[in-house]
């Protein structure tokens, strides 16, 4: 680094150097450009002394969970911009550092749980997010090998090896098993995980059965679900695809019957009761592995969008985890102003749990802490350029910063960052502080910039298919509700009613919308599902059918990503409902738009944007309406254009498999255009239905001409096998 500025006798920089600063600053991102931390996975300069006592308290709870197995629940309140998400981001960095090396805090997993999308799937929502975030690869090839350096795989390996160590000393295990496990664990898994995993894999073909049977009699596994553990115990026998399938399954994914059969189970963890079994088992194994999980429930007030009782329902689920799961840290982040109202809504037993540990209210900044924020960000800025001044505050001064902090009463990190971002636009001299003019940014511009940021982030996020389906249903409900409240027409149709609706009291909820157009009135009911499991998909179709048979709606629709074909049983059920039942296809790219709206609404509920939820949704729809084609397709499905043409009928999948024409077209495309192609692209390019493409790919895979694999979004991709080129 080259220092080019030196202060003269009056402490001011030479004119030429000040001009050079203007040039660099104009060409670089502002040191204060991220006033709002969009999520806990964004990196931003940190000042460790801010909220230091709260940070220490969180680490103490993690340590207590590891050493004693105690579960704790702590509510952390703060005003908007006070640093709640920043605190979660710091915890996330502590967790990642613990995975990489031995640290004073030790290993622990930090997962951020966003607000609920459905009141009937709270456990499934938490389970999905835990597995999704623990499946993000750590930087560097630092553990066993490049296939196993995700936290979830390391956690499972450590849990199995811990069970092995317990069995070595357990008299109920056979002498042969204890001897083999003593060999496996002799290298000390805590220090040499790679060696122990290799030994466990070698021994597994002969010890798997006795190991599982003996393990399920251990007191340490008393809260572990037996069937869930049996599936996880297949981890050492499989290759990478099988381990990936196990992780997907554990995350509540609705796998196909074929994939479930390969895992030796018929259990799917996609309903609430089974998802709760999976979540309890995972958290118990994490505790056994000495790697407690901290669940950070961020922006919990965002759950209010599901109705007045939504937050109390979510808090009841959180407290049930407190009662059922050992060695877990539950952190609830909420705005201070909302907490008293939320407390009034919960049942007495929930309130008792919430108050077991006194809540923490984040304190406002001192002027010295505000100075540290400015100094840290300016230093971070200058460290990133080739030339820098000797004073990291340049072009500001300590006196100037303190003056503005006191004069403007800047008490939160966000207020400090926003104020000094505007101040730097004025290129202030280092002399006497100058007042900063107020710049009122229109809400429309704020929301536009926020949505642009969120859209970019969502395109980089990998979500499981079931999670994408939940986002599609929840946000489509919100968009129709916005049309109702604003009297906005969709494809000339007026929205008269919108509500969450259950076909039966015990079922998963969908959405009911009443539309009118040209004097015709239609009641529609829709759900969203990407389930590839035959029974789960058929259950969804039965709910749609029940709605029609009991006259709860005139039409029933399934929102489904176009890349996933319907299992045969679901297709037959849909055919029976035609024309009153239909599938409304979703493009994978549409989910990013819907997810960005969801994040915006949560940000508005948490006070991270200066508008309320209603205005945020109004502005989002106004700006994104051309990309919200899903609402228009639903309306067009409700009011189809009448035609004299013969109706299109759904062909039986077996007939499609027998038709050689799609097979030939797919092979020709893979041979001459691209040797690998997503199934959805094949359908659109060749003018075939998704079901036809999937049926054809199944036949081609059976003939060993094509291999079907999953991409990062778990969508099917066809790969031409080399031997198919010569045919």
pLDDT tens digits for 383-395?
Answer: 877 777 777 887 8
pLDDT of residue 434: 58
Predicted confidence band at 304 (pLDDT cuts at 50, 70, 90)?
confident
Tokens of 247: 């992780």
Q: What is the mean pLDDT of residues 471-487?
A: 95
Is the peptide bond prior to 579 cis by the omega test (within 30 degrees of 0)?
A: yes
For residue 646, the model assigns a pLDDT of 39
Of the candidates 15, 14, 24, 11, the residue with the CA atom closest to the CA atom of residue 388: 24
The gap from C-alpha 423 to its chain's centroid, in whole angstroms, comes to 36
Q: What share of the chain is helix, strand, coil (3-state, %, to 5)?
A: 55, 10, 35
Highest mean pLDDT, choosing among 290-294, 432-436, 506-510, 689-693: 290-294
Paired residues of 555 in beta bridges: 524
Q: 42 vs 292, which has greater pLDDT?
A: 292
Q: Which residue carries 């997010």 as its tokens?
A: 129
Question: Cα–Cα distance between 618 and 401 in angstroms, integer?
Answer: 38
pLDDT over 90 (residue 489): yes
679 vs 697: CA distance, rounded Å: 9
Quick: pLDDT tens for 355-399: 888 999 999 999 999 999 999 988 888 887 777 777 788 788 899
Which is more confident, 210 or 651? 210
d(CA 502, CA 499): 10
The two tokens of residue 188 are 């000390």
* CA dihedral of 490, 495, 498, 501, whole degrees rounded to 10: -80
388: helix, strand or coil: strand
Closest by CA position to 45, among listed 427, 435, 420, 403: 420
334-354: pLDDT as tens digits: 999 988 888 888 888 888 888
The phi and psi torsions of 271 (rounded to 5 degrees) equal -100, 170
Terminal CA-to-CA distance of the chain, rounded, Å? 62
CA distance 483 to 495: 6
271, two tokens = 């309903």
Report d(CA 555, CA 575) in Å as an integer. Answer: 14
Taking the C-alpha atoms of residue 180 and residue 156, their distance in angstroms, rounded to an integer, is 20
What is the band of 438 on the pLDDT scale with cuts at 50, 70, 90? Answer: low
Please say if the pLDDT value at position 63 is more than 50. Answer: yes
Q: How confident is the model at residue 332 (pLDDT cuts 50, 70, 90)?
A: very high
Written as one string, the DSSP assignment of 615-675 is HHHHHHHHHHGGG-HHHHHHHHHHSPPP-SSPPP-PPPHHHHHH-HHHHHHHHHHHHHT-S
**Res 15: pLDDT:** 42
pLDDT of 431 reads 53
| Domains of the chain with bracketed CATH | 2-30+365-425 (no CATH), 52-63+71-108+292-361 (3.40.50.300), 151-288 (no CATH), 460-638 (no CATH), 653-726 (1.10.10.10)
- Confidence at 53, pLDDT banded by 50, 70, 90: very high
Tell me the pairing of strands 109-113 and 293-297.
parallel
pLDDT of residue 699: 82
Please compute the mean of the pLDDT values over residues 428-454 and round it to a whole number. 72
Neighbours of 553 (CB within 10 A): 23
Sign, Cα dihedral of 559, 565, 569, 572: positive
E strands of 567-623, at which residues? 581-586
**136 pLDDT more than 80:** yes
pLDDT digits (tens, 9 = 90+) for 85-109: 899 999 998 998 888 776 666 789 9
Query: Predicted confidence band at 645 (pLDDT cuts at 50, 70, 90)?
Result: very low
513-549 pLDDT, tens per residue?
999 999 999 999 999 999 988 888 989 999 999 999 9
Dihedral-angle region of residue 78 (phi above 0 means left; psi in -120 to 50 means alpha; beta otherwise):
beta
Model pLDDT, residue 589: 79
Going from the C-alpha of 478 to that of each of 481, 613, 642, the distances in angstroms are: 5, 11, 29
pLDDT cut 90: percent of the chain above it: 45
Q: Which residues pair with 678 in a beta bridge?
A: 717
- Check pLDDT > 70 for residue 197: yes
CB–CB of 251/131 below 8 Å? yes
SS3 65: helix
Cβ contact 576:556 at 8 Å: no
Residues 430 and 403: beta-carbon distance below 8 Å:
no
pLDDT mean across residues, the chain: 85
Is the pLDDT reported for residue 194 higher than 80? yes
The burial class, CB within 10 Å (0-12 / 13-18 / 19+), for 256 is middle
**Burial classification of residue 312, based on how many CB atoms lie within 10 Å of its CB (0-12 exposed, 13-18 middle, 19 or more buried):** middle
The span from the CA of 598 to the CA of 604, in Å, is 10
Give the ranges where 384-521 is alpha helix by DSSP (H).
398-407, 413-425, 443-460, 465-486
Could you tell me the pLDDT band of residue 18, with boundaries at 50, 70 and 90?
low
Q: What is the pTM of this model?
A: 0.86
Integer Cα distance of 265 and 147 in angstroms: 24
Which pLDDT value is given to residue 433? 60
Alpha carbon separation from 380 to 31, 91, 276, 388 (Å, rounded): 8, 21, 44, 11
CB 678 within 8 A of CB 717: yes
Give yes or no for residue 144 having a pLDDT over 50. no
What pLDDT is stored for residue 655 in this prediction?
Answer: 45
List, as one string, the DSSP characters of 7-61.
Answer: --TTSPPPHHHHHHHHHHHHTS--TT--SS--STTS-----TTTTHHHHHHHHHH
* Residues 545, 547: Cα–Cα separation, whole Å: 5
Give me the pLDDT at residue 375, please: 92
Residue 57: pLDDT over 90: yes
Q: Is residue 204 predicted with pLDDT exceeding 80? A: yes
Q: Which of the four pLDDT bands, split at 50, 70 and 90, describes residue 427?
A: low
DSSP lists the bridge partners of residue 525 as 512, 556
Tell me which of 123-132, 153-162, 270-279, 430-439 is least confident. Answer: 430-439
């Amino acid at each position: 680094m080259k220092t080019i500025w030196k202060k003269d006798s009056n402490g001011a920089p030479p004119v030429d150097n000040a001009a050079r600063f203007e040039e660099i600053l104009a060409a670089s991102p502002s040191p204060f450009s991220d006033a709002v931390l969009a999520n806990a996975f964004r990196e931003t300069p940190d000042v460790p002394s801010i909220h230091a006592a709260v940070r220490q308290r969180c680490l103490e709870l993690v340590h207590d969970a590891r050493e004693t197995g105690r579960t704790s629940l702590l509510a952390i309140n703060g005003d908007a911009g006070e640093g709640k998400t920043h605190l979660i981001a710091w915890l996330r960095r502590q967790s990642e550092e613990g995975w990489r090396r031995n640290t004073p805090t030790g290993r622990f997993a930090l997962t951020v749980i966003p607000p609920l999308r459905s009141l009937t799937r709270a456990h499934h929502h938490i389970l999905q997010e835990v597995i999704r975030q623990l499946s993000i690869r750590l930087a560097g090839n630092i553990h066993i090998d490049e296939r196993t350096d995700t936290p979830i795989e390391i956690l499972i390996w450590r849990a199995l090896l811990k069970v092995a160590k317990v069995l070595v000393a357990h008299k109920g295990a056979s002498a042969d098993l204890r001897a083999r496990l003593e060999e496996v664990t002799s290298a000390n898994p805590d220090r040499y995980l790679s060696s122990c995993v290799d030994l466990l894999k070698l021994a597994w073909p002969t010890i798997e059965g006795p190991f599982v049977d003996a393990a399920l009699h251990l007191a340490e596994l008393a809260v572990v679900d037996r069937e869930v553990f049996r599936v996880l115990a297949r981890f050492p026998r499989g290759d990478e695809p099988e381990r990936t399938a196990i992780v997907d399954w554990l995350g509540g994914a609705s796998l196909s019957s074929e994939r479930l059969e390969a895992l030796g189970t018929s259990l799917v963890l996609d309903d609430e009761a089974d998802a709760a079994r999976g979540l309890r088992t995972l958290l118990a194994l994490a505790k056994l592995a000495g790697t407690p999980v901290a669940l950070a429930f961020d922006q919990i007030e965002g759950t209010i969008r599901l109705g007045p009782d939504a937050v109390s329902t979510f808090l009841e689920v959180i407290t049930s985890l407190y009662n059922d799961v050992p060695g877990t840290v539950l952190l609830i982040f909420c705005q201070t102003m909302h907490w008293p109202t939320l407390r009034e809504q919960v049942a007495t037993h929930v309130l008792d749990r919430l108050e077991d540990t006194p809540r923490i209210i984040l304190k406002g900044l001192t002027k010295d802490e505000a100075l540290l924020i400015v100094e840290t960000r300016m230093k971070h800025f200058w460290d990133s350029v080739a030339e820098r001044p000797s004073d990291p505050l340049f072009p500001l001064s300590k006196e100037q910063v303190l003056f503005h902090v006191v004069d403007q009463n800047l008490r939160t990190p966000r207020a400090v960052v926003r104020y000094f971002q505007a101040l730097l636009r004025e290129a202030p001299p280092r002399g006497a502080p100058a007042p900063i003019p107020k710049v009122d940014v229109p809400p429309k511009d704020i929301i536009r910039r926020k949505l642009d940021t969120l859209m970019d982030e969502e395109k980089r996020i990998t979500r499981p298919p079931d999670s994408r389906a939940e986002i599609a249903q929840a946000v489509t409900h919100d968009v129709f509700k916005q049309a109702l409240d604003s009297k906005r027409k969709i494809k000339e149709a007026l929205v008269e009613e919108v509500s969450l609706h259950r076909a039966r009291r015990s079922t998963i909820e969908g959405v009911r919308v009443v539309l009118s157009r040209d004097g015709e009135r239609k009641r529609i009911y829709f759900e969203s599902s990407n389930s590839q499991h035959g029974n789960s998909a058929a259950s969804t179709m039965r709910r749609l059918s029940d709605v029609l048979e009991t006259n709860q709606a005139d039409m029933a629709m399934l929102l489904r990503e176009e890349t996933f074909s319907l299992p045969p049983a679901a297709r037959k059920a849909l055919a029976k409902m035609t024309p009153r039942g239909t599938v409304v296809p979703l493009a994978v790219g549409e989910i990013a738009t819907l997810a960005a709206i969801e994040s915006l609404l949560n940000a508005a509920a948490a006070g991270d944007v200066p508008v309320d939820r209603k205005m945020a949704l109004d502005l989002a729809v106004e700006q994104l309406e051309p990309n919200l084609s899903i609402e228009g397709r639903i309306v067009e499905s409700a009011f189809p254009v009448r035609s004299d043409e013969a109706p299109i009928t759904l062909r039986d999948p077996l007939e499609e498999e027998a038709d050689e024409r799609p097979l030939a077209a797919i092979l020709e495309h893979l041979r001459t255009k691209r040797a690998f192609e997503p199934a959805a692209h094949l359908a659109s390019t060749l003018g075939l239905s998704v079901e036809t493409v999937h049926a054809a790919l199944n036949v081609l895979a059976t003939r060993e001409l094509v291999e079907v694999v999953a991409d990062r979004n778990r969508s099917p991709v066809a790969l031409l096998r080399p031997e198919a080129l010569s045919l």
